[in-house]
């Protein structure tokens, strides 16, 4: 087994660590080299600064130092039953992987001390050739690959489909929050019987996912289907980021599958986004969920990339 060695030390991040700016300068340059487009570096820097700014209370960071010079950091927080690694960056060097492993180990140890550590998730991208990948695997993290699918909207039209029998289409409203969580639990919870094993999640994860969808969706494009008794049976949640349109969730209750509910909601969302000037829509599915992939491809989505980032969980 590979041995990771480094002469760096780890310290808690605080406002007194002013040289962190130099490390972020390196990060910004690395991002430009990696992405190869204008603005990528500043955007990466802003993203990491935002996460470092959260380091109060439950959100914390550790910095790896070589002497008095910071060379890497990790940001983490505890979110109910799930502990989260928000961000990790280590500057180029011969011991880059060793520093990454040291930071990850210290973060896991700190999270375990904060509360019983039932599950740790990773919220940052991990590419197949990434320096972070081997340390994560070394520590026992499980990588779940996701497929990035997208659909160009320019020149496309989307017919107005009839509402599936026994249902009514309604715009998203806060009153549906509890029902959405219940629908997601039915679909994704480990005891909920999702047909794809890698899509099953602990109930705490699903609850957090529902909260994220409610807080982050764009109500202009999100919609639900209910029965005549106002029971929520399907929902589509769209997130927007500048000119980017993302299908964060398309969920249909088991009792209403194969009735056209998903197709109805997706067509409605795509039509509304196209009318608003959107040029494309994207989404992700678990690589092993072939049924979902084929479904979205029939709707017109195309595979763009395989990205192993969505779910890296530390084993029990």
Query: Which residues have C-beta within 8 Å of that of residue 181, sequence separation ≥ 6?
Result: 206, 207, 210, 211
| Residue 131 lies inside a defined structural domain of this protein | yes
Residue 61 has pLDDT above 80, yes or no: yes
pLDDT recorded at residue 158: 87
pLDDT recorded at residue 190: 53
| Residue 156 lies inside a defined structural domain of this protein | yes
Do 223 and 170 form a contact (C-beta atoms < 8 A)? Answer: yes
In this prediction, residues 116-138 reach a mean pLDDT of 69
Q: Mind listing the pLDDT tens digit for each residue in 170-201? A: 999 999 999 998 988 888 765 555 656 666 66
| Domain end marker among 101, 116, 139 | 139
Residues 227 and 305 in one domain: yes
Q: How many domains does the chain have?
A: 2
Residues 222 and 123 in one domain: no
Residue 41 has pLDDT above 70, yes or no: no
* 99 compared with 309, residue with greater pLDDT: 99
Query: Cα(first)–Cα(last) distance of the chain, in Å?
Result: 21
Residue 32 has pLDDT above 90, yes or no: no
| Residue 315 lies inside a defined structural domain of this protein | no
Confidence of residue 263 (pLDDT cuts 50, 70, 90): very high
In this prediction, residues 74-91 reach a mean pLDDT of 76
Residues 30 and 173 in one domain: no
| Residue 2 lies inside a defined structural domain of this protein | no
Q: Residue 211 sits in which domain range?
A: 149-310
Residue 43 has pLDDT above 70, yes or no: no
Residues 125 and 165 in one domain: no
Q: Mind listing the pLDDT tens digit for each residue in 212-257? A: 888 888 989 999 999 989 999 999 999 987 788 999 999 999 889 8
Residues 91 and 62 in one domain: yes
In this prediction, residues 120-149 reach a mean pLDDT of 74
Q: Mind listing the pLDDT tens digit for each residue in 277-308? A: 999 999 988 888 888 899 999 999 998 877 66
CA dist., res. 251 & res. 188, Å (int): 10
Q: Across all residues in the chain, what is the average pLDDT? A: 79
Residue 315 has pLDDT above 50, yes or no: no
Residues 121 and 240 in one domain: no
Residues 154 and 193 in one domain: yes
Q: How many helices (H) and strands (E) does the chain have?
A: 8, 12
In this prediction, residues 80-87 reach a mean pLDDT of 71
Residues 86 and 154 in one domain: no
* Strands, E assignment, the chain: 9-12, 59-66, 69-79, 82-90, 120-122, 141-152, 167-171, 223-227, 232-241, 244-252, 280-286, 302-314
| Domain end marker among 117, 139, 161 | 139
pLDDT recorded at residue 139: 77
pLDDT recorded at residue 112: 75
| Residue 274 lies inside a defined structural domain of this protein | yes
Give 152's Cβ-side CA count (13 Å radius).
3
Residues 300 and 158 in one domain: yes
* Choice among 97-106, 203-212, 247-256 with the minimum mean pLDDT: 203-212
Residues 164 and 303 in one domain: yes
| Domain end marker among 82, 115, 139 | 139
pLDDT recorded at residue 311: 46
* 189 compared with 107, residue with greater pLDDT: 107
Residues 101 and 207 in one domain: no
Residues 168 and 194 in one domain: yes
Give 301's Cβ-side CA count (13 Å radius).
25
pLDDT recorded at residue 310: 36
pLDDT recorded at residue 45: 67
| Residue 176 lies inside a defined structural domain of this protein | yes
In this prediction, residues 29-49 reach a mean pLDDT of 61
Confidence of residue 309 (pLDDT cuts 50, 70, 90): low
| Residue 214 lies inside a defined structural domain of this protein | yes
Confidence of residue 62 (pLDDT cuts 50, 70, 90): confident
CA dist., res. 23 & res. 273, Å (int): 39
pTM of the model as a whole = 0.66
Give 175's Cβ-side CA count (13 Å radius).
8
| Residue 144 lies inside a defined structural domain of this protein | no
CATH code assigned at 15: 3.40.630.30
* 138 compared with 272, residue with greater pLDDT: 272
pLDDT recorded at residue 179: 92
């Amino acid at each position: 087994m590979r041995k990771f060695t480094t002469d760096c030390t780890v310290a808690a991040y605080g406002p007194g660590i002013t040289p962190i700016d130099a490390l972020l300068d390196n990060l910004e340059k690395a991002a430009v080299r990696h992405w190869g487009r204008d603005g990528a570096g500043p955007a990466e820097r802003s993203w990491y600064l935002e996460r470092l700014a959260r380091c109060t209370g439950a959100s914390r960071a550790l910095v790896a130092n070589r002497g008095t010079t910071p060379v890497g950091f990790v940001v983490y927080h505890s979110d109910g039953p799930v502990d989260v690694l928000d961000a990790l960056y280590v500057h180029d060097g011969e011991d880059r992987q060793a520093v990454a492993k040291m930071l990850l180990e210290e973060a896991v140890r700190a999270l375990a001390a904060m509360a019983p550590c039932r599950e740790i998730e990773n919220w940052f991208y991990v590419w197949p050739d990434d320096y972070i990948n081997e340390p994560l695997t070394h520590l026992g993290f499980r990588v779940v690959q996701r497929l990035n699918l997208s659909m160009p909207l320019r020149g496309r039209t989307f017919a107005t489909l009839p509402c599936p029998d026994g249902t009514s289409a309604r715009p998203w409203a806060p009153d549906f929050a509890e029902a959405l969580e219940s629908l997601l639990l039915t679909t994704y919870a480990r005891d909920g019987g999702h047909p794809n094993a890698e899509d099953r999640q602990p109930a705490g994860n699903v609850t957090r996912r529902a909260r994220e969808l409610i807080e982050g969706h764009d109500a202009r494009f999100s919609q639900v289907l209910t029965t005549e008794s106002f029971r929520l049976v399907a929902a589509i949640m769209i997130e927007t980021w500048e000119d980017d349109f993302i299908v964060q969730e398309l969920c249909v209750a088991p009792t209403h599958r194969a009735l056209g509910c998903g197709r109805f909601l997706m067509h409605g969302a795509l039509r509304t986004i196209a009318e608003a000037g959107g040029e494309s829509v994207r989404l992700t599915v678990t690589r092993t969920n072939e049924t979902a992939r084929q479904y979205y491809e029939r709707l017109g989505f195309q595979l763009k990339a395989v990205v192993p980032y969505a779910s890296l969980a530390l084993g029990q």
